[in-house]
Amino acid sequence: MVRAPPGPDRPGQVRVYTTNPGKVREIRALLEPRGIRVAWSRRRLVEIQGDSLEEVARSKLNSVSPRPGELSLVEDSGLFIHSLGGFPGVYSAYAYRTLGLAGVLRLVRGRDRSATFRCVVGVRQGPEVLLARGAVTGSLARTARGTLGFGFDPIFIPRGCSESFAEMPADVKNRYSHRGRAFRALLRALPAAFP
Ligand code: IMP
């Protein structure tokens, strides 16, 4: 793989704060081919129960202490099921822990199964903060399928695809996913935000 060297419009290193190794795998596949090194702090940041992914991402960013020459990066994602008024949305981690995949599938039995995954990624350098968003719409599978990925991947099929996210390797999932879209938007906005 050809790696572009860091340039004036690209940071050399970002530090990702998450406890989720699946997210780190996907973030590396998105940033490293662009010549951006990804350092990982597996530290659990204090997470508020906010009303929006943006609010949660901003509060996580405020709780990190950026190191000189490094961008701090956090992201917050959620699964918004249309027929449930957007639930679990910002409560996705809680729904995953308490209901599990089978519990979420039970909630949509007999209902419209369309859903949107949303991601907000935020970076901070000193006091400056930049947020970018990405979303993908699809439908919930009837049963869990696939063993790759994490979280709700086995039950989410992006529109236009026949495979669930858990049946796609990280680089293929990134082409369609909320995270892939949010990171591509972030990379487009970075040069103007941190010139
Ligand atoms: P958080 O962004 O780590 O708070 O994620 C909220 C919940 O959504 C967690 O249970 C994650 O596992 C799940 N989730 C976030 N992103 C994805 C994804 O790309 N695929 C599947 N589940 C996800």
More confident residue, 124 or 12: 124
- From start to end of the chain, where are the E strands? 13-17, 37-41, 71-81, 114-125, 128-140, 156-158
Structure tokens of 119? 């991601």
Give the fold, CATH level 3, of 12-193: Maf protein (3.90.950)
Residue 165 identity: F
pLDDT at 11: 63
Residues classed as catalytic: 76
Confidence label for 4 from pLDDT (cuts 50, 70 and 90): very low
pLDDT at 5: 43
Residue of 18, 66, 22 whose CA lies nearest to 41: 18
Atom of ligand 1 nearest to the CA of 179: 19
**Distance of alpha carbon 147 from alpha carbon 85, whole angstroms:** 28
Structure tokens of 56? 């949660």
- Name the residue of 59, 60, 75, 79 whose CB sits within 8 Å of the most ligand 1 atoms, as the mutation to test its pocket: 79
pLDDT at 68: 80
**Distance of alpha carbon 40 from alpha carbon 48, whole angstroms:** 21
* Angle formed by the axes of helices 178-193 and 21-31, nearest 10°: 50
User: Which tens digit of pLDDT belongs to each residue from 140-191?
Assistant: 999 999 999 999 999 999 999 999 999 999 999 999 999 999 999 999 998 8
pLDDT at 8: 40
User: Which tens digit of pLDDT belongs to each residue from 105-119?
Assistant: 999 999 999 999 999
pLDDT at 111: 98
Contact call for residues 92 and 103 (beta carbons, < 8 A): no
Atom of ligand 1 nearest to the CA of 75: 2
Whether residue 154 has its Cβ less than 6 Å from ligand 1: no
Residues sharing a CB contact under 8 Å with residue 26, sequence separation 6 or more, in sequence order: 170, 173, 174, 177, 179, 180
Domain boundaries, the chain: 12-193
Whether residue 92 has its Cβ less than 6 Å from ligand 1: yes
User: Which tens digit of pLDDT belongs to each residue from 38-66?
Assistant: 999 998 887 777 899 999 999 999 999 87
- What is the reported pTM? 0.92
Structure tokens of 70? 């490094």
